Structure formats: structure tokens, C-alpha cells
A and B are shown apart, each in its own frame.
Chain A
Amino acid sequence: MSLDGALSVASSGLDSINRRLALLSHNVANAGTPGYVRQTAVTSSVSADGQGMGVRTGPARRELDERLQAEVFQAGAAAEAQDTRSKALSAIDAVAGTPGSGQSLPDLLGELRNSFSAPSGDPADATQQRQVVLQAGELARGVRALAAAGSAQRQAAQDSVVANVGELNSTLKTLGDLSDRIVRGMSQGNSTADLENTRDAAMQRLSGLVDARFLRQPNGDLLALAGGLSLPLRADTGPFEVANGTVGPSTGGLATPRVSLGGLDVTAQLSGGRIGANLALRDRELPTMQAELDEFANTLATRFDAQGLKLFTGYPPTPIGSGVQSGYVGLAQAFQVNPAVLANPTLVRDGTHAAGSFVPNPAGGPAGFTGLIRGVLDGTLGANPPVTAQTAGLGPNGNLQARFTPPSTLAGFASSFSAAQAQASADATGSLDVERSAQASLQARLDSETGVSVDAELTLMVQLQGAYSANARVMAATQTMWSQLLDAVR
């Protein structure tokens, strides 16, 4: 071992410090980068034949708690899902109005009832008859507006599914590309920490779209799973496909565009995240609301019909679907006051047709005819007979379940519907807050465990500085010894 040995050992020390300082500076520079995971380099001493030959610095590694990161991803998926749901439901909330504002269904129904109560004193008053028709129109408009809002949100959910599936495909492709580069980098023994950070960001994006789990393979590759699906990262096209489409009242359940993977319908297997939430809104939650609304409109119209007044129309010309509601699927969207009643408001006193024991007031009949009005107040808007509404097998496919069992009156039906809708919206907002805070606290934990601690980095910097000068001192001493040796030869 000559002086050369000491010099080369000192130089390996300097080299190691250089690399660790570069890494430290990279960490400090990225201290504020979201999702950045602190990198460290492992150093080990090297010897040959029992003689030390300095220090070797390994490739940069990430200090990551993968379990905690998976929890953050899952919380992110849940928060995104609730966010999507809460946005859609609150948009409907805005249309539904709050009870007492005069815009909600129970309020509009109450107004109609009031307008009927008034002519019971003076059935011949044309102003009051027109008022009844006006209020009926208001109620029909309210039902239509709610149905239209539901429909608009369903269409928005469908459009989002298409956009989100596109994003899902591109994110999967990104993950595949990054994984390929990581595999290549690892096979060459290079540090892949920065690529892995980029890949983590893509993984986070993916779990915002669908609730996904990730398994890192030993060779640097990645396995992405969602529910029972293994997500292909290296597909040439797609891999997920969904068609653009219009979702209307007639297309519920299976008639909506399906998300397919390799030609196979996987819609039911995509849950969580924005895609899962939009699919649930499109195929279950909003159709249920619309089916309830159809049920309400049908009950309303039928109960007027049963008393001899065909006040509302809007029934589809042909039955749609196979469920119990097939005769009136989409009724709520086309709900309107019978044009004959609009043209001739006296019909609300006289009736439009015979029904049961009721016989319409013939033309030129008594101006004070109250048979229909009494029937409406007691029967249609009262509890005699009690309301019977379908609660199961709803929708065009007959696969939806109402969220409530309506009480015996129409007013009760309207309030139950409004309450269920308000409850769903409030639940979504409440869950969103819970998921957001869970996500925030998990993210904070992950950041504190894996993020850059500037204090720690600066402490390390002081240590590295000291080590650098110590190594440099060894070199200086070696240099002095060289010159002493050269001085010895004259």
C-alpha cells in the first residue's frame, strides 16, 4: 500500500460526499413538490483482499411507506367519488328548492290543494278555476324541472364517464411507459427514484378515477388491480372503451353505454373514484330518483283520473321497458296539464269523464256543482283511498328500488320524496367532508414520513461539509508527504 492508496480512498470519500450532497440539494429543491419522496443513497465500505479501498455509494433510493401510500390512494378515491356525487346531487337540490320556499314539490302540491279549496265555496268563479289550472301547471312544471335536472345530471355523468375513461386509458399508458423505463433503469443499475416519483403521481391520478390497488414487482414493474380487474398497462389501444351516448328516461340500467375491457362489459366492476361515482349516479342513483318522480307523477295523475278529472297528461305513447312502471317511464319529464283543461278551465268544476259513481256535470248543468271538487279534496288529495305506489321493480328495466315507502297521502309522498332527495344530498356532502379530512390527515402523515424535512437535510449538510473537509485534509497531508519524499531525493 503506497501513498496512492490513501489518496484514492480519500478521493472515493469525496466522490461519495459529492453525490450525497447533490442528492441532498435535489431533496431540498423538491421540498415543496407534491408527492415528492425523500431520496437517500446507501454507502458501504469496500475492501479488496482485506485492504480497505474506500467507500461505495449506491444508487438513490426512496424512503417510502407503501402501505400508507396505498391508504392515501384509497382515501383519495373515496373523496373523489363523494365529490362527484355531492356535486351532482346539489345541482338537483338547487332545482328541488327547500321546503317552505314555494318551489319544492310539497309546497307546489299544497298550493294546488289550496286552489281547489277556494272554489269549493263558489265553484262557478272563473278566476278561481283558472287559478286551479295555473297551480296545476306550476306543479307539472316543478315535476318536469326536477326530472329535467335529474336527466341533465345523468347526461353529465355519462359524459364524465366517457372523459374519465379516456383519462384512465392515458394514465394506464403513462404507467406502462414509466414502468418500462423503471424496469430498464433498474436493469442497468441506475437510480429510478425520480421515475418512481413520477409514477406515484400517475398512480394517484389513477386512483382518483377508480379505486385501484398497486403491487410493485421486484423488477420494478407494476401491477394495477381494480376490484376483480387487473388493469392492463401495455395495451396498444384502449384498453377501456365506452361509447358516447344520450341517456334519457327511456334508457336506464343496461341500455346505457357500457364500459368494456377487451370487448367485455366491466361496468359493474369499476367502483370508487370519479368513474365509479359517475357510473353509480348514471345507472342507479339518478334513475332511482327519476323512477320515484315518475311514480309520483303517475300516482298524481291517476288519482285525479279516478275522481273523474283528467288533469295531467304526458304518458308515453307506447310502454317502455319491462318493469312495473313500463306504462309511464319518463312521465315526469313530459308531465303537463291536460290541454283540454287548459282550454276550458271550467272542467276543473265539471269533470272530464265518468269515473265510478261520479258523473260529470253536463253542459248547462248547475253552476254550483261541487261533486268533483269534493271528490278531489277528499279522494285525490286526501287519504281515501290511501296512496298505493310501487316501490320495487322500478325503472325501465324493473331493477330499481325506491328509497322510501310513501305514506297514504300525495302530500306525504311529495314530502318523502323531497326528504329522501335532500337526505341523499346532505349525506353526500357530509361524507365528502369526512373523506376529505381522512385524506388530508393521511396525506399529512405520508408527507411527514416520506417528504423532505429541511431541518434534517441541513443537519446532514453540516455533517457532509465536515466529512468533506476531513477527506480533503487527508489529501492535503498526502500531498505534503509527497513533497517531503521528493525533497529527500537531491
Chain B
Amino acid sequence: MSLFGAMNTAIRGLNAQSAAFSNIGDNVANSQTIGFKRVDTSFANYLTTSNAKMNESGSVVARPEYVNDVQGTVVQTDKPLAMAIAGQGFFAVSRQVGNAGSAPVFNPTKEYTRSGDFALNKDGYVVNGFGQYLNGWGVDSATGAVDHSSIAPIQVNQGAYNPVPTSQLTLSANLPATPTPGTPIVSQVQVYDSLGTLQTVRLSWTPAASGPDDWTVALDSPGGNPTALGSARVQFGAASGTAAPEGTVGLVTGAGGLVTGSSFTPGQDATLGFTADFGRGPQTINVNLGAFGQPNGLTQFAGTEFSLRSITQNGVAPGSFSGLATKSNGDLVVNYDNGQSRTIARVPVTTFAAPNELQRQDGQSFTATREAGLPQTQDAGGNGAGQLVTGALENSNVDLAKEFTKLIVAQRAYSANTKMVTTEDELLQQTIDMKR
């Protein structure tokens, strides 16, 4: 064992502690970085000679220990698109590498990050604070089915919400049991055609001359072509020849035009269907009169006046983009100013078997490595993936108190190593002084 060897060991110790210092410095500097994962330091010793007779001083090296799987503090924010993952997993993001025309070109290698401070950019992409593009599954706008086969950067189409033509009318009203003879009762309802224009449909109820319980409803629309849409016969109670209780709808039969009726089935909805042409081809509308034999839709109870309880329709006016919202299952929902909303994409959570083995990249993001395992893209909250917390951000997982503790220890260890060097220097001096 030589003094020089011991000195080398001490200098290796100094090196190792300064590596720890640099990790602590990195952690403290990024303590307020959204989604930052801290780097701890582990030390390992190297041997020169070590046996039963002899042990020579070896060396120490500092190795970084990545702590990617420890949760940072989740804090609330008022950013509408901010998301945080509570639990394991990462957001899959893409980095832009260029432009093709006006469209961005993305690096095919996905990156993974916990930094969820997302917002819309000018092209409608959802990007985080570092400018990375959030990836998600596409959602079929018609069926709402999620396409789990591939993930791609989410682009929000800020276009209009197409109008939905009315296909269903729900009428709840009471026809008078003692109507004024010869006076039809008219109720009007507004429906949407395929362009989202409001069209008026009139339902004129005429009691049969033979007596109550038997009505003819004639349908017409001033905007329709032709304006008369046909008529139907609606019979109530025993007069309909069915088991319907008195005052409730027993039978609906089409009596003219393209009107279809429905026959008595207890508990089933009494409907009549008609087809109108508002200038854009035929549009079939079903009028729901409530359930057969139930007093929950159209009834005919005592009274001399028609009273309307409710009349609603399922058409939707055209709308324009009013905002984007996130749901805790990862759904990105576009809200329109006509009160409608549409899910356009779902944000998955990507997990790895060994998240601490991921390759660190700029912008507190990571890339997959052989050691980390294959990226597993899955629904938030399922299969070991963390939950999504909306309106929240994940702070770094750096705890300043712990860093300071490590700092104090590293400082002392560094001082101890320097003490070793000075002491060995003294010893060497004494060795040199032996020769005068």
C-alpha cells in the first residue's frame, strides 16, 4: 500500500462527491420544472487488491440513479387543458423536426413526458410548454368508437358543428275530453332541417264527429314541399279496441299521406312517422306520443282546452367551436356554442416495465430504450397506468429538504476527502524529510 495509492483514492472520492454535487445542483435548479424527474447519486467502490492478507485502497465512482417512477406533487392550475398523471406512465409526445408546406413534420421517434402543461397552438395541435405535440388515439366522430390501433399528434379541428336534422319529436299534451266541436286544435313545433334551418311543423287535431276518443291529426309545414304532410288517426282508451286504459293512447293509424302509425303494445312508445321535404330531400321524423296505455305522453282527460306539457325535438342547430375540455378518462372534448360537444381524441398513458431505464432527453422527456422495455399504450387508470388529473400539473419530484440533506452529506464527505489529501501530503512531507 502506497501513500500515493491512498491519495488517488481520496481524489477519486472528491470526484465522486462532485458528481453528486452536480446531480444535486441539477435537481435544485429544476425543482420548479413541470414534470421533471430527479437524479439521485449512488456510489460504487472499485478494488485493487483485496484478500486475506492484504487490502489496498481502491477507488469510488459516482453513478447517476434515475428516479422516473416517483410521483411529483400534483398541483391545481386554471389552465383548461393541463393534465397530470397520478401514478405510473407518461404522455406520448412528438417532436417537430421541420415543416412540409404548412404542416409540421414530426420525428418518428416518440418521446415520453410527464410535463402536462398543454395548450392549443395556432395550427390546432395540443402542445406542452416545451413545444412537444401530444399524441392520442383518434375517435370516430359518428360512432364515438376509439381507434386503439395507432397514436398520432392530436389536431383539433376548430370548424363548425354540422346541424343535425330532427328525426324525433316528443309530444306530451292533454287533448280535451270535451272539445269545442268543429274547431281544430293546433300545436306548432319547430324542427331543424338538414341545413339547420328552423322549420315549423303544425299538428292540427280534429275530434271525430262520432264522439270523443277519436282524433285525426293533420300535419303540415309551411316550409315543406308539399306543405301538407298527411294525417293520422289517434284513438284513445276502449274506443280504440285495445286494452288501453281510458284517456291514454290505444291506436295510431296512418290515415293519409306518408304517415305511418303504430299498433298497441303495452309499454311500447306510440309513434307516428311522417316524411317532409324541406327542399333538401325527404326527412323522416318520428313523433313520440308517449307509451301506449301510460299517461306520460299524449292523453285525453277532462277539459275543454288543449294543454301542452312539453314538446321537444332532437335536432341541433349548427354551432361553432367554443372550447376544448379534457375528461379524466383522457377524452378530449370539443364544445360548441350550440350546447353540443364532440369527443375528438383520447389521450392514452404509456407505461414501461422499467421506467427508470429510459433515456433522458431535453425538455424533461424520455425516449424508449431496450432496457426500459416496450412502450405499453393504454387507457388512463387501467392496467397499471396512472389516472389522469385534469386541471392540474405535476411538479418535479424534487424535495428541496432531501436535496439539502444530501448536499450537507456530500459537503462533509468532500471535506473528509480533502482532509485525507492534506494528511497524506503531510505524511509524504515527513517521508521526504527523512533524507537530509
**Chain A residues engaging chain B, CB cutoff 8 angstroms:** 1-5, 8, 12, 15, 46, 48-49, 51, 53-54, 56, 180, 183-184, 186-189, 215, 217, 219-221, 223, 225, 227-230, 232, 234-235, 261-264, 266, 268-269, 482, 485-486, 488-489
Contacts and interface: CB of A to CB of B under 8 A. Distances in A.
Nearest to A233: B190
9 contacts: A8-B395, A184-B337, A187-B335, A187-B341, A189-B80, A189-B325, A232-B188, A263-B222, A489-B408
B414 to A, nearest CB: 14
A221 B310 contact: no
A486 B400 CA distance: 10
Contacts, number: 143
B209 interface: no
Contact of A223 (B31, B312, B325, B400): B312
Interface of B: 31, 71, 73-76, 80, 84, 86-87, 173, 183, 185-190, 198, 200, 202, 222, 305-312, 317, 322-323, 325, 335-341, 386-387, 389, 391-392, 395, 398-402, 404, 407-408
Contacts of A12: 75-76
Contact of A49 (B306, B308, B386): B386
Contacts of B186: 228, 264, 266, 269
A77 to B, nearest CB: 15
Contact of A262 (B31, B71, B200, B322): B200
A264 B389 contact: no
Interface of A is mostly: mixed
B322 A184 contact: yes
A42 to B, nearest CB: 15
A183 B407 contact: no
Contact of B73 (A8, A220, A232): A8
A480 to B, nearest CB: 13
Given A8-B76, A228-B307, A49 B404 contact: no
Give 8 closest A-B pairs by Cβ, nearest first: A49-B86, A48-B86, A228-B306, A2-B399, A48-B74, A183-B339, A8-B75, A219-B339
Nearest to B411: A489
A8 B77 CA distance: 10
Interface of B is mostly: strand
Contacts of A187: 322-323, 335-341
B392 A48 contact: yes
Given A188-B322, A266-B186, A53 B76 contact: yes
A234 B325 CA distance: 28
A1 B73 contact: yes
Given A51-B71, A184-B337, A229-B187, 11 more contacts: A8-B75, A49-B71, A49-B74, A183-B338, A228-B185, A228-B305, A230-B189, A230-B190, A268-B183, A269-B186, A488-B404
A269 B205 CA distance: 14
B395 A4 contact: yes
A262 B322 CA distance: 32
A17 to B, nearest CB: 14
B401 A184 contact: no
B74 A53 contact: yes
B382 to A, nearest CB: 15
B191 to A, nearest CB: 11
Given A4-B395, A183-B337, A229-B188, A223 B310 contact: yes
Nearest to A234: B198
A215 B308 CA distance: 11
